[in-house]
Amino acid sequence: MQVPQAAPGSCALSIVVPVYNEEDGLDAMVARVTAAARGCFGADYELILVNDGSKDTSWARICAHAERDPHIVAIDLARNHGHQLALTAGLHHVRGAIVFVLDADLQDPPELLAPMLAKLREGHDVVYGQRIKRHGETAFKRGTAALFYRMLDKLVDTHIPPDTGDFRLMTRRVVDQLNAMPERYRFIRGLVSYVGFSQVPFPYERDARFAGETKYPLRKMVALAIDAVTSFSTVPLRFASHLGMLFGLAGLLSLAGIVWVWLAGGTVQGWASLAALILIMGSVQLLVLGVFGEYLGRMYMESKHRPLFQVAEVRRHPVAVTAAAAGEAVQPVPASSEEAIRVAG
């Protein structure tokens, strides 16, 4: 399959990078991503940096890069929306025939663009990075990640490849399908699997974080896991029914045992065990109500039809705006060129 050609007013490659408090490694990330893109596509690319409500100087650094490089599109979200919605915002702004997604921490090497592109040219629509080794991560993080992906595969109705993140190369038709999905609680790698088309893994070793601290502590990892399960599976709801049947059967067996002891002339003891059973049943009922409430709450939030994200502003270099309007590729300009302009988001 030939790599899709850029239509007039678009470009060959769009690179989407969500950014949250990455001031220490941002310059290195831009340099490495730019080098990888130019090595494969020359000047026919764009780099979309989405600032997800950073509290450090990330946005100022992004703007500085946009002022110097017309290939960079700077998007500032109105507040912190989370990684998945920040990535969604970037995907809604792409112009490229091919879309490359990676994180700003450089754990996923941008230099892999070239071999992933070669894989895409074999006739596929998605080439997703599959981690065969994770450098710089604790044994706890590696173990819980492995457990999560194995359990997720058993729970969800759509097959989601294990040991994969959002690091991937996609054709534009896949991205268009993703952008057409309006759901708020997004699990991008699951949505990509749901879309279908031809998808193949690209095994690679994940590097240690270049600088700074992880933006996915245990709390956020648990929230992402809940989003993944509730977005692609009703197994928790069926589990509630199975749990009810299991305890009902246990109750009938206990009742049969009590009747047997009574018929044999024995005395039925067990106030402590009775109290324990009541506490267990109450806990199970609250657990089941919590599962139902999680699904119901998500349905309630989806029914509001609020925008997935709010964009405060989009900045592009004047050369980039002119080239896009003329349907031409953006050419490099000297660093001393005029300031970047603001485009309403």
CA distance 15 to 334: 22
The separation between CA 111 and the C-alpha centre of its own chain, rounded to angstroms, equals 21
CA distance 91 to 232: 21
CA distance 94 to 90: 7
Residue 269 has a pLDDT of: 66
Hey, what amino acid is at 152? L
Hey, what are 26's tokens?
A: 């941002």
Find out whether 99 and 175 touch, Cβ atoms under 8 Å.
yes
Residue 8 has a pLDDT of: 46
CA distance 125 to 95: 17
- Give the three-state DSSP class for 165: strand
Residue 343 has a pLDDT of: 43
Q: Give every CB contact of residue 212 below 8 A, 6+ residues apart in sequence.
A: 21, 22, 23, 24, 25, 105
CA distance 224 to 187: 7
CA distance 332 to 148: 44
Residue 18 has a pLDDT of: 92
Hey, what amino acid is at 50? V
> Tens of pLDDT along 276-311?
677 677 777 777 777 777 777 777 766 777 777 788
Find out whether 268 and 262 touch, Cβ atoms under 8 Å.
yes
Residue 313 has a pLDDT of: 81
- Give the three-state DSSP class for 4: coil
Estimate the crossing angle of helix 218-232 against helix 139-155, to 10 degrees: 10
CA distance 317 to 49: 13
Q: Give every CB contact of residue 26 below 8 A, 6+ residues apart in sequence.
A: 19, 58, 61, 62, 65, 104
Find out whether 170 and 125 touch, Cβ atoms under 8 Å.
yes
Find out whether 63 and 39 touch, Cβ atoms under 8 Å.
no
Residue 204 has a pLDDT of: 86
Residue 344 has a pLDDT of: 38
Beta bridge partners, 99, equal 14, 170
Please give the full DSSP string across 236-302, using - where no structure is assigned.
Answer: HHHHHHHHHHHHHHHHHHHHHHHHHHHHTT-----HHHHHHHHHHHHHHHHHHHHHHHHHHHHHHHH
Distance in Å from the first CA to the final CA of the chain = 35
Residue 115 has a pLDDT of: 92
Find out whether 309 and 88 touch, Cβ atoms under 8 Å.
yes
Q: What values do phi and psi take at 199, rounded to 5? A: -130, 135
Q: Give every CB contact of residue 8 below 8 A, 6+ residues apart in sequence.
A: 327
Q: What is the pLDDT along the chain (345 residues), one digit of tens a residue?
A: 455 555 545 788 999 999 988 888 888 889 999 999 998 888 888 999 999 888 888 888 888 888 888 888 899 988 888 888 888 889 988 888 899 999 888 888 899 999 999 989 888 889 988 888 777 666 766 676 667 767 766 677 677 787 788 888 999 989 988 888 887 778 888 888 888 888 899 898 887 665 656 655 566 667 766 766 766 666 676 676 667 777 777 776 776 776 776 677 666 666 656 666 776 777 777 777 777 777 777 777 667 777 777 888 888 876 555 555 555 555 544 433 333 434 433
Residue 331 has a pLDDT of: 52
Beta-carbon count within 10 A of 9 CB = 12
> Tens of pLDDT along 49-79?
999 888 888 888 888 888 888 888 899 988 8
Find out whether 13 and 110 touch, Cβ atoms under 8 Å.
no
- The tokens 């648990």 sit on which residue? 222
Dump strand ranges (E) for 3-110.
11-19, 45-51, 72-77, 96-101
CA gyration radius for the chain? Answer: 25
